[in-house]
Amino acid sequence: MGIIFALGMLAVLAVGAWVRLAPSDPARWDQPLEFAVDEDLPGGVYRRVEDLDLAAFDAIVLATPRTVVLAGSVSAGRVTYITRSRVWGFPDYTTVQQVGEDLLIFARLRFGGSDFGVNRARVAHWLDQM
């Protein structure tokens, strides 16, 4: 019984290490955004917000704990961020792109099939702060 427990714990630690150490390829996650309507997905959310400035939004996003820039910049007009969960360090990716006076926001998970509304809530919180 002790060997099974030890193997189980080793498997949990291996998954935890993979989640935290898996490389994030900017070419995969930092893609141009094109969508017309808001949409909630099982693992993320699309939002188009009128009359919003990327620089102001960027400051709010970067004030979020465990959030860093993966690729892009405000001056380039598109930024992709990684926000990691507190305990396991699961990465969520959020791409924000300025299109005229509007912001396109695409927040999504990397691992799993559902984020249980975490990305939707995070984006809503950021927008409430604007």
pLDDT tens per residue, range 30-89: 999 999 899 999 999 999 999 999 999 999 999 999 999 999 999 999 999 999 998 888
Order the strands of the 39-41 sheet from edge to edge. 39-41, 44-49, 102-109, 91-99, 78-84, 67-73
Q: Flag whether pLDDT at 17 surpasses 80.
A: no
Q: In this structure, which amino acid lies at residue 26? A: P
Please say whether the beta carbons of 130 and 56 come within 8 A.
yes
What is the arithmetic mean of pLDDT over 4-22? Answer: 80
Q: Domain with 19 in it: what CATH number? A: 3.30.310
Percent of the chain with pLDDT over 90: 77
Asked if residue 119 lies in contact with residue 107, where contact means CB atoms within 8 angstroms, the answer is yes
* Confidence check: pLDDT of 18 > 90: no
The mean pLDDT of 109-120, rounded to a whole number, is 93
pLDDT at site 15: 75
The C-alpha atoms of residue 116 and residue 37 are separated, in whole angstroms, by 21
Q: Which domain holds residue 117?
A: 2-129
The pTM (predicted TM-score) of the whole model is 0.90
How many domains does the chain contain in total? Answer: 1
Confidence class for position 13, pLDDT limits 50, 70, 90? confident
pLDDT (0 to 100) of residue 95: 98
Residue 107's identity, in one-letter code, is A
The CA–CA distances, whole Å, from 76 to 26, 99, 105 equal 15, 11, 15
Tokens found for residue 109: 């998970």
Question: Model confidence at 21, in pLDDT bands (50, 70, 90)?
Answer: confident
